[in-house]
Amino acid sequence: DAGVTQSPTHLIKTRGQQVTLRCSPKSGHDTVSWYQQALGQGPQFIFQYYEEEERQRGNFPDRFSGHQFPNYSSELNVNALLLGDSALYLCASSLVHSSTDTQYFGPGTRLTVL
């Protein structure tokens, strides 16, 4: 049973460019959440997708957008990259009607903006 997978593992972009990160949830999960973790900090919630709709959003600008596909996988898009967008981007999956309230995290994508 595969856990949460993310691609790519590492990515280097320059300021102003656009990036797309991908996430496949754990088998059986229907909800995907994205988090940004700056160096030395805890993860910060970006947004959550369920039934292909953005269900919740954190305090991130509109440059951050996402999508969820019918197979529950998800993409995170960031436009007009800034140096401050350099971070580890984590995807977490869960089951909305689960009794355990547990989110399972992928290994992350390390984004470096030069």
Q: Does 11 sit near another protein (CB under 8 A)?
A: no
Q: Does 102 sit near another protein (CB under 8 A)?
A: yes
Q: Does 56 sit near another protein (CB under 8 A)?
A: yes
d(CA 58, CA 69): 21
By rule CB under 8 A, what count of residues binds another protein?
33
d(CA 102, CA 88): 21
Q: Site residues (CB under 8 A) for another protein?
A: 4, 31, 33, 35, 40-45, 48, 50, 56, 58-59, 88, 90, 92, 94-98, 100-108, 110
